[in-house]
Amino acid sequence: MKKETTPELGAVKGMRDISDGEYYAYQGFYEKAAEIAHYYGFTPIETPILERADLFARGTGSDTDIVQKEMYSLRTKGGDHLALRPEFTPAIMRAYIENGFQSQPQPVMLYSYGPLFRHDKPQRGRYRQFYQFDLEVIGTQKSIVDALIIKLFLLILEEAGLKNLKVEVNSIGDRECRGNYRRELTNYYRKQTRQICADCRERLKTNPLRLLDCKNPACEETKLGAPSALNFLCCGCKTHFKEVVEYLDQLDINYEINTNLVRGLDYYSRTVFEITEPASAEAGSAPLAIAGGGRYDYLARALGNKKDIPSVGGAIGVDRVMLSPNYIRQNPKLIKKPKLFFIQLSFDAKLKSMEIIEVLRRAKIPMAQSLSKDSLGAQLSIAEKLQVPYTLILGQKEALDNTVIVRDMNNRSQDVVPIPKLAEYIKGLK
């Protein structure tokens, strides 16, 4: 049960502690996702949680909500302007450029996971510190990797039990064709300024593509009548998009083309996608997006690289996976159900207990114990709650004799086993 601490010392709004079963559920998910990524040729990368604020201003885009409204930024005593990372992609691209990954065989396929920070309004499935599992394929413009990323996200989510996942894809073109589309969209919205919300009137001036991102019901009708980016794609973008959907067909992936899908970040080009699970929605509310991403061929140059580095990637929102009613808990490999409960009685037994715990650890025998409890009854009742098949009992006599009692909890039979033979004896048990 949650207890009130002094309010001024409580956890920060939108941030929370994750412990015990919930912690293992996150770890189990990361382990499985990393294993799948590993089999498909991805390698891990961990970038710092703090980066220069400019990395996101230039990468994510200075007029995006993430940078303008949601970024946690700070000035150090030395005067550096830093930010808690609000997303992975610009940081991973920075690492790729800075560490000379260009000289490795291309593409470089990376995965990462961990916390991100956005000062958004907290609500169900939306936190200010949240967790993502991220995949990036850097250094190829081939359409197959766009499909690969979508396929892997689906695989990871399905392994976690999620069902009826809905994939939406769109293409927002490249720098050649997007200008025409932007002009057309702006012309259309200029005629509708009275029908749209104040935010959209602002977007019309700063970043018209993001008009299609608006979730305000007042703008819905205008959005539905908006021209579609797909009608403006240049030849190269048309071919690329056609290939992506052909790969998705070949991979038996059900998808919908959603011409209103643009995703709020500046760096996307060509393919954008989003994955939702309808079952994750509460009655009457729209389903939460579980994963999203896209191609970002111009990000490297926005970060100061001399050439474009065509790339594609995306991220799964891990907190939202945990909230799915279909989520099947994946335990990390480290956590094994205890095979036995270790009971110590008397001061001498407690002293000796570390030696026995170490014998069991070396033999990789999972066990539970309670060093703080003294009485046999209290310790036996924990063992019963844990439903372990065996208990080890170490009393004064056994501690002096260098033995331990092994008790079968089902038929109550027991053996006295010398400590040097203990691991072998336990491994021989069913």
Binding site for ligand AMP (CB under 6 A): 87, 118, 120, 125-127, 130, 132, 289-292, 315, 317, 319-320
Q: State which residue, 157 or 393, has the beta carbon closest to ligand AMP.
A: 157
- Report strand pairing: 390-394 vs 340-344: parallel
* Minimum distance of ligand AMP from residue 118's CB (angstroms): 5
* Minimum distance of ligand AMP from residue 124's CB (angstroms): 10
Chain residue at closest Cβ approach to ligand AMP: 317
The C-alpha atoms of residue 327 and residue 329 are separated, in whole angstroms, by: 6
- 419, 402 Cβ separation under 8 angstroms: yes
* Minimum distance of ligand AMP from residue 356's CB (angstroms): 44
Of 170, 296, 292, the closest CA to residue 229 belongs to 170
The C-alpha atoms of residue 68 and residue 59 are separated, in whole angstroms, by: 13
148-183 as b/e, with b when 16 or more CB fall inside 10 Å? bbbbbbbbbbeebebeebbbbbbbbbbeebbeebbe
Place of tokens 């808690």: 84
271-294 as b/e, with b when 16 or more CB fall inside 10 Å? bbbbbbbeebeeeeeebbbbbbbb
* Minimum distance of ligand AMP from residue 48's CB (angstroms): 18
Q: State which residue, 161 or 236, has the beta carbon closest to ligand AMP.
A: 161
The C-alpha atoms of residue 344 and residue 366 are separated, in whole angstroms, by: 17
Q: State which residue, 73 or 414, has the beta carbon closest to ligand AMP.
A: 73
* Minimum distance of ligand AMP from residue 277's CB (angstroms): 10
Q: State which residue, 144 or 322, has the beta carbon closest to ligand AMP.
A: 322
Q: State which residue, 16 or 339, has the beta carbon closest to ligand AMP.
A: 16
Quick check: bond before 278 cis, omega within 30? no
Side-chain-facing half-sphere of 246: CA atoms under 13 Å: 8
* Minimum distance of ligand AMP from residue 430's CB (angstroms): 44
- Report strand pairing: 81-84 vs 50-52: antiparallel
Q: How far is CA 250 from the centre of its chain?
A: 27
* Minimum distance of ligand AMP from residue 298's CB (angstroms): 17
Determine the angle formed by the axes of helices 143-159 and 20-39, rounding to 10 degrees. 140
The C-alpha atoms of residue 214 and residue 264 are separated, in whole angstroms, by: 9
Q: State which residue, 256 or 424, has the beta carbon closest to ligand AMP.
A: 256
Q: State which residue, 70 or 243, has the beta carbon closest to ligand AMP.
A: 70
* Minimum distance of ligand AMP from residue 190's CB (angstroms): 28
Q: State which residue, 291 or 394, has the beta carbon closest to ligand AMP.
A: 291
Of 284, 268, 271, 265, the closest CA to residue 213 belongs to 265
* Minimum distance of ligand AMP from residue 128's CB (angstroms): 7
Q: What residues pair up with 314 in beta bridges, in sequence order?
A: 135, 293
- 181, 173 Cβ separation under 8 angstroms: yes
Q: State which residue, 261 or 392, has the beta carbon closest to ligand AMP.
A: 261
The C-alpha atoms of residue 349 and residue 352 are separated, in whole angstroms, by: 5
* Minimum distance of ligand AMP from residue 14's CB (angstroms): 8
How is residue 409 written in tokens? 């909890």
Q: State which residue, 151 or 320, has the beta carbon closest to ligand AMP.
A: 320
